[in-house]
Amino acid sequence: MANATVAAYAPGRVELLGNHTDYNEGLVLAAAIDRGLTVRGSTVHGSISLESASMGSATISLSDLKPQKGETRWANYALGVAAELIARGIPLEGFCAQIEGDLPRGNGLSSSAAFEVATALLVLELCHSHLPRIEIAKVCQRAEHTFVGVQSGLLDQVTSIFGQADHVVCFDARSEEVRVIPFPPDLALIVAQSNTPRELADGKYNERRRETAAAARALNVRALRDVSMTDLESRPNMDATLRRRATHVVGENERVARAIEALARDDAADFGALMNASHESSRTNFQNSTPQLDLLVDLARSLPGVFGSRLTGGGFGGATVTLCRRDKSDDIAARLRDAPQTGSAVARSVFLCNVADGARLIPL
């Protein structure tokens, strides 16, 4: 590969509250974490060449830029971004890039968004072009829709781009307003991977997206953002599955609003209780948890110093996020890691994460 001339880094994220609300025009609280992905590259003419120690290599001609099948499917995140940037008039002639990082793939921590966002920053810089940050997020989201086939919302890309150290990102998916709120220094976040990869769950994700859209139609509103719990209660004849899906999304929007107040009061116990309620709603209403995720959540909640624990991201596998006292976090992480594996034996990897800055160009 030609010597790299540009390098871009994008972090993964944890979703703290606001599960499956983004594509329902709702509210989300999330944070960029101190693990991510770096893409180093330079301009080449006529093709896109990608190289990664863990994923392999792929070279695709620009004249044949389309979603890949089989072994090089992993390249679709970068190829999709390239195609979307070209569609927006960015004068991309081709590039080669090396990808590396410490973000576990397919585990609900948005390794795909990190790959897309880092690629977008790299390509824009190579092309001496500029796009507003929210537009970069949308380019990456479109790549996910058109090249990957997941109808995801904007949460992952927005958090990876707008993340700020020691701050939580608050995203209103209707107005597209992004705010940051200080994350209390005496709290810590622990990620526990269930090691049941999310990759196979894409079909389920799209199904939930269709169900929530159907629920909005049944309730005669533009999006579930426009629905309250009282509205739901006044519609006893609604299809039971659609009602459960809607109850989750409506509840999540309410929980995000309450969590913002809890953060302002420095009330970790209330924030944690909202996380617990979120997981319970995932388990029963949205049915996007798994026995492994439930087990991890139960384990975390049994440990002193833990305020709350829930699945993070799309669900159907992936990871949990646990909010706890910082001064107890090493101990809690160790106990989560070492707890005897019962029931549906979970092969756990557990790590503490710091709330970190968002995507950026970095020195070579």
Active site residues: 156
Find the part of the chain contacting ligand GLA (CB under 6 A) among 13-21, 34-42, 255-263, 334-342: 13-21
Residue 44 CB coordination number (10 Å): 18
Residues 6 or more apart whose CB falls under 8 angstroms from that of 233 comprise: none
Task: In angstroms, give the least distance from the CB of 30 to ligand GLA.
Answer: 9
DSSP 294-353: HHHHHHHHTSTTEEEEEEESS-SSSEEEEEEEGGGHHHHHHHHHHS---SS----EEEEE
Judged by CB under 6 A, which of 7, 11, 19, 296 binds ligand GLA? 19
**Cβ–Cβ under 8 Å, residues 325 and 271:** no
Task: In angstroms, give the least distance from the CB of 123 to ligand GLA.
Answer: 21
In the complex with ligand GLA, the residue whose CB is nearer, 62 or 191, is: 191
Task: In angstroms, give the least distance from the CB of 334 to ligand GLA.
Answer: 28
Task: In angstroms, give the least distance from the CB of 19 to ligand GLA.
Answer: 5
Number of residues engaging ligand GLA in binding (CB under 6 A): 11
Residues 6 or more apart whose CB falls under 8 angstroms from that of 301 comprise: 276, 308, 309
Quickly tell me which residue has 């953002």 as its tokens. 225
Is 36 a binding residue for ligand GLA by CB under 6 A? The answer is no
76: helix, strand or coil: helix
Judged by CB under 6 A, the chain residues 295 through 354 that form the site for ligand GLA are 313-314
Q: Cβ-count burial of 151 within 10 angstroms (0-12 exposed, 13-18 middle, 19+ buried)?
A: middle
Find the part of the chain contacting ligand GLA (CB under 6 A) among 15-23, 184-192, 226-234, 350-358: 15-23
For ligand GLA, what does the binding mask look like between residues 130 and 169, x meaning CB under 6 A? ----------------------xx-xx-------------
Task: In angstroms, give the least distance from the CB of 363 to ligand GLA.
Answer: 30
Contact residues: ligand GLA, CB under 6 A:
15, 19-20, 22-23, 152-153, 155-156, 313-314
